[in-house]
Amino acid sequence: MFDPRFWLVVGGVAAAAALQGPLGQTNADRRRNDFRYTPDADVARVLSLGHRSTLANTIWLRGLPDFAREFRDKKLKKRWLAGVFDVVTELEPGFFTAYWFGSTYLTLVDRDDTAAIELLESGCRRMLAIEEEDGQEYYITTRLHIELGMTYYMWSKDKEKALEALEFATRRPDCDALTRNMVVAMKMDEGEDLVALTYAATNLDSPNRNVREKAEEDFERTKMRMVRREARRFLETHTREPVSIAELREFAPGVPELIWDGAEMDADGVFAFPKHAATELRATLHGAEYAARIYRDNHDEWPPLEWLTTPGWDPDRPNGLGTLPRPPAGQAWHFDPATGKASVIDLPQ
Amino acid sequence: MIGRIRAIASATFREAVRDKLLLLVVLFAIGLVLFSRVLGWLSVEDELKMVQDFSLTGISLLGLFLAMLVGAGSLAREVERRTVYTVLTRTATRTEFILGKYVGLVLVFWLCIVGSWLALVAWVLTWGGGAFVGATLPALVAAVVGLLFESVVLTSVALFLGSLSAPAIASVGTFVFYMVGHSTEALRELTDQGKNPDFAAAFALLYRVVPNLENVNFINATTSGRPVDWVSLGLGGVSAAVWAAVFLAGAVALFRKRQF
Amino acid sequence: MTPVVEARDLEKTFRPSAFGKPVNALRGVSFSVAEGECFGYLGPNGAGKTTTLKVLTGLMTPTEGEVRLLGGPPSDAMARLQLGYLPENPYFYEHLTPLEALEFYGRLSGMTASDVRSRADTLLARVQLEDARDRRIRGFSKGMRQRFGLAAALLHEPQLLMLDEPLSGLDPAGRRLVKEIILAEREKGRTVFLCSHVLADVQELCDRVVILHTGKVVREGTIHELLESAPRSFELCATKVPEALVARIREVSELFREAGDTITAHLAGATAGPELAAAVHDAGGRILSLVPERETLESWFVRVIQGGSDA
């Protein structure tokens, strides 16, 4: 029905395809433990012909699958990946993922915190040089310092160096609240209240409302924790609770004046921080609304209040974000399914 | 004179735009832009960074390939097909012919580069949304403007080499020029850092006398959020224009001596 | 009156490669063309006709000698304003349509776009390309290109037409068309410079002729003078010719064929053919055909060179 030449071509293609599978497998097995070559960073810069980011990406994509791959020659793997991190970050100093994955790999898999720290420090150095050149700050610099600090803290157990790097990050407005609170706590432990308060106050005047409100909450909590710490010390010294704010202030002349702002003592002699309570409540309500929005995006309807307040209320639609804490005394959580607004209402007396 | 240059430019433009080769090269570039998404998936993180970097590299190579495949051979093609006879026996001078060809080619190449770039922007918009595009748009604009400037130089070099030698040699020459033009800065930096001091003088000289295409290279780290140095981009453009004028003058000088 | 085209002692030497032997394409060529004249520039392939044209139009500079074109040097763009040039086997921008290409050439000859448009339709009709006006030249046959090239050369109504082998590649109808156009242009007083290697083509169109061979002018004169010396022959085909006459014809003919009572004879010279035909007629035979045949210049020259005798 067809020309015999047609069948010859079909047969040829089929034979080639049949051979190609096993052959490819053999070759792939052989290549798996092949020598990997990364050029020297300087050479790579010249060879990139100006396409530095693209070459960095290419080398990165080449190295990425080898992170989890077993090499027969462990030293080769180490040398190859170290080369990848080095060349990639040299070609593109702001390639955060390379630092981040790289340092994570070096600590978690290679257990080589020195190399991880070296990588992160080179990143910090490069980014600081870029910032100086541009006269502008970049989030990557902050994140690199956080990664560096955490590596010192968790792997090298060098608290001093960790704090140095984390403090650098904390001083910048784009530092995340978690890191900042950690540094504030560390500073409080070292008795440097004023420094801790200064860090806690970093974003109080942020133009971004969410950032500002979060900062207010953190700041008020820091103050409250300092007041409570002094109250505990008072108890240890005098074996009784202080009777007034004034007495506690007199007991602790060294702490910054600032922390007493907004501190109250009710008739029962209990400390209260109405301002902290207010900021905390506001943050909680924002969190609730955020969770509700995610729920609506997933299920096309607003959640019932119970989903927000009761853990495990709907096993089919679990609340992975966590449920609301107890509401303030004499009040109850309220959720308006028409507007998605969360609030508190007074309980009937 | 301007009228004649315009006529030659517009004929060159139409002739090139309707050529299938051009379509092929542009399709290749747009294919690369679309394919870059796959590299993004492979990278786990930084997906749109991969898209932008690989695409901009692709568009830069597009500019190079156009200069090599269309630009370097354009004069030889005119001579070989003897179309040049019908042009130069009218009132057009050889200078006008070269300038017209140049303008027409540059316009075609710009069209291709901007077209591929728009495909990239649309692609990034599809995957990254308006906010991402908004954040990186200045860098993307600077990148494509730089590529347009680069094409200005590459085209003039291709025409110059095309009036000097055979198309194949001119193509290779344009490629070599692209390589050298992009590496003199890195080579000089190497010696600045104290390595290879023996070559320092040679690299310093090379850096001076070869057009530095890195001056208009704004394709790196477009997603980094670094501000665009528009002044140096502008100066790069001026420098590109000066080099283009030099190469064109060379092309005109060679072409005027040419016997058909 | 200043000649429209004037060439004095033209020499052109090519060096095919850096180490190759130089080739003398033109060796002291001189001639001049007066206004309104139809000038034939004849020569076999490789004689240097196209080289001369390139020198005349400024595409080449002569190694030696001087050229005046419409009163100026051909390198002067303004001297070329009144020149309409049709290259041999012309090629145009493949992806343009005839209309676009005419617009392009018009603008290069100082015409406005509206001038071109008003002329284009008539011109394309004149060369019978009106149906192809919006097709790309890419798809044109050789003859169509040739006709389009003529239209392009005529576009700006130039004083001087330089046509390089304008009839090559054309079918008989196309040849007639082009010949008519050339004659019409001559009627209008235009100067025509026509290059050809076919003597017969030139004969119908030209007043005066120069013949070029291996880069030298070997003959110059009016078409009559040339025709006198031009070799010609006849092919006579007749039937029912008396025996005696057949023998006589066989004797003088260069080639002779006899099939039944029909004879075909190839008779050299300008007179033998007609004379023998009259004899056949007088003897009661029937003449089937008497076809005059002219040699191409090429074969003429081949004969001249090989035979060593002046043709």
- Contact partners of C by the rule of 3+ C-beta pairs under 8 A? B
B90 closest CB neighbour out of C89, C105, C149: C105
Residue C305 lies in a domain: no
Q: Which residues contact B175 (CB under 8 A, 6 or more apart)?
A: B64, B68
Looking at residue A260, the DSSP 8-state letter turns out to be G
Establish whether chain C is in contact with chain A, requiring a minimum of 3 CB pairs below 8 angstroms: no
pLDDT value for A32: 62
Minimum mean pLDDT among C26-35, C93-102, C297-306: which range?
A: C297-306
Specify whether C88 is located in the same domain as C166. yes
Burial class (CB in 10 A: 0-12, 13-18, 19+), A277: middle
Q: How far apart are CA B194 and CA B190, in angstroms?
A: 7
User: Any alpha helices (H) in chain B, and if so which ranges?
Assistant: 2-17, 20-42, 47-66, 72-80, 83-88, 94-164, 167-192, 200-209, 230-257
Query: CB of A69 within 8 A of CB of A34?
Result: no
pLDDT bucket at A35, cuts 50 / 70 / 90: low
ipTM: 0.90
Specify whether C239 is located in the same domain as C212. no
Instruction: Report the CATH number that the domain containing residue C239 is assigned in CATH.
Output: 3.30.70
pLDDT digit string, tens, across residues A76-116:
888 888 889 999 999 999 899 999 999 999 998 888 889 99
Burial class (CB in 10 A: 0-12, 13-18, 19+), A255: buried
Percentage of residues of chain A with pLDDT beyond 70:
97
Residues of B in contact with A66 (CB under 8 A): none
| CB–CB contact C107 B4 (8 Å) | yes
Residue C30 lies in a domain: yes
pLDDT value for B67: 92
Q: Which residues contact B161 (CB under 8 A, 6 or more apart)?
A: B72, B169, B170, B173, B174, B177
| CB–CB contact C87 B15 (8 Å) | no
Residue C236 lies in a domain: yes
| CB–CB contact B60 A51 (8 Å) | yes
Torsion of CA C92, C95, C101, C104, to 10 degrees: -100
| CB–CB contact B182 A49 (8 Å) | yes
pLDDT digit string, tens, across residues C135-152:
998 888 888 899 999 999
Query: CB of C102 within 8 A of CB of C179?
Result: no
Residue C310 lies in a domain: no
pLDDT value for C17: 73
Interface membership of B219 toward A (CB under 8 Å):
yes
| CB–CB contact B82 C91 (8 Å) | yes
Q: Decide if pLDDT at C307 tops 70.
A: no
Structure tokens at B184: 């003199």
Instruction: Report the CATH number that the domain containing residue C10 is assigned in CATH.
Output: 3.40.50.300
Average pLDDT of the segment spanning A45-68: 88
What amino acid is encoded at B24 in this protein? L
Q: How far apart are CA B154 and CA B71, in angstroms?
A: 9
pLDDT value for A125: 94
User: Closest Cα to residue A93, out of A62, A60, A63, A130?
Assistant: A130
What amino acid is encoded at A216 in this protein? E
User: Closest Cα to residue B66, out of B12, B18, B23?
Assistant: B23
Residue C146 lies in a domain: yes
Specify whether C70 is located in the same domain as C169. yes
B23-42 residues touching A, CB cutoff 8 A: 39, 42
pLDDT bucket at C309, cuts 50 / 70 / 90: very low
Residue C112 lies in a domain: yes
Specify whether C52 is located in the same domain as C169. yes
> A336 forms bridges with which residues in the sheet?
A341
Considering A294-303, C183-192, C193-202, C299-308, the range whose residues carry the highest mean pLDDT is C183-192
Specify whether C146 is located in the same domain as C206. yes
User: Closest Cα to residue B220, out of A189, A91, A23?
Assistant: A91
Average pLDDT of the segment spanning B16-45: 84
Average pLDDT of the segment spanning B76-95: 88
Number of domains composing chain C = 2
Interface membership of B10 toward C (CB under 8 Å):
yes
Average pLDDT of the segment spanning B56-71: 92
User: Closest Cα to residue B158, out of B177, B182, B183, B144?
Assistant: B177
Specify whether C29 is located in the same domain as C161. yes
Write out the H or E segment, with its range, that includes residue C229.
helix C223-229
Which residue, of C213, C228, C243, is where some domain finishes?
C228
Specify whether C51 is located in the same domain as C180. yes
pLDDT value for A34: 63
| CB–CB contact B183 A49 (8 Å) | yes
Q: Please count the residue pairs, one from chain B and one from chain C, whose beta carbons lie less than 8 angstroms apart.
A: 82
Torsion of CA B12, B13, B16, B18, to 10 degrees: -120
pLDDT digit string, tens, across residues A146-197:
999 999 999 989 888 999 999 899 888 888 888 888 899 888 888 888 889 8
Q: How far apart are CA C105 and CA A75, in angstroms?
A: 72
Specify whether C98 is located in the same domain as C245. no
Establish whether chain A is in contact with chain B, requiring a minimum of 3 CB pairs below 8 angstroms: yes
Specify whether C66 is located in the same domain as C82. yes
Q: How far apart are CA A327 and CA A280, in angstroms?
A: 11
> What's chain A's average pLDDT?
86
Interface membership of B182 toward C (CB under 8 Å):
no
Write out the H or E segment, with its range, that includes residue A61.
helix A52-63
pLDDT digit string, tens, across residues B133-142:
888 889 999 9
Interface membership of C98 toward B (CB under 8 Å):
no
Name the minimum distance, in Å, from the CA of A61 to any CA of chain B: 6
pLDDT digit string, tens, across residues B198-231:
778 888 888 888 899 999 999 988 888 888 889 9
| CB–CB contact A53 B219 (8 Å) | yes
User: Closest Cα to residue C284, out of C238, C226, C229, C219?
Assistant: C238
Query: CB of B248 within 8 A of CB of B105?
Result: no
Q: Which residues contact A143 (CB under 8 A, 6 or more apart)?
A: A96, A100, A169
Residue C299 lies in a domain: no
pLDDT value for B99: 94
Q: How far apart are CA C237 and CA C288, in angstroms?
A: 5
Q: How far apart are CA B40 and CA B54, in angstroms?
A: 9
Specify whether C143 is located in the same domain as C268. no
Name the minimum distance, in Å, from the CA of B223 to any CA of chain A: 10
Query: CB of A173 within 8 A of CB of A203?
Result: yes
Pick the residue from chain B with its C-alpha nearest to A89.
B221
| CB–CB contact B50 A57 (8 Å) | yes
Burial class (CB in 10 A: 0-12, 13-18, 19+), B228: middle
pLDDT value for C311: 38
Domains within chain A, CATH numbers bracketed? 41-201 (1.25.40.10)
Task: Pick C300 or B231 by higher pLDDT.
Answer: B231
Average pLDDT of the segment spanning C52-64: 89
pLDDT bucket at C162, cuts 50 / 70 / 90: very high
Pick the residue from chain C with its C-alpha nearest to B20.
C95
Which residue, of C199, C228, C257, is where some domain finishes?
C228
pLDDT value for A294: 86
Residues of C in contact with B3 (CB under 8 A): 107
3-state class of A245 per DSSP? helix
Q: How far apart are CA A345 and CA A343, in angstroms?
A: 7
Name the minimum distance, in Å, from the CA of B193 to any CA of chain A: 10
Specify whether C173 is located in the same domain as C58. yes
The answer to pTM > 0.95 is no
Specify whether C100 is located in the same domain as C120. yes
Residue C217 lies in a domain: yes
Query: CB of B97 within 8 A of CB of B14?
Result: no
Could you tell me the residue range of the domain that residue C9 belongs to? 5-228
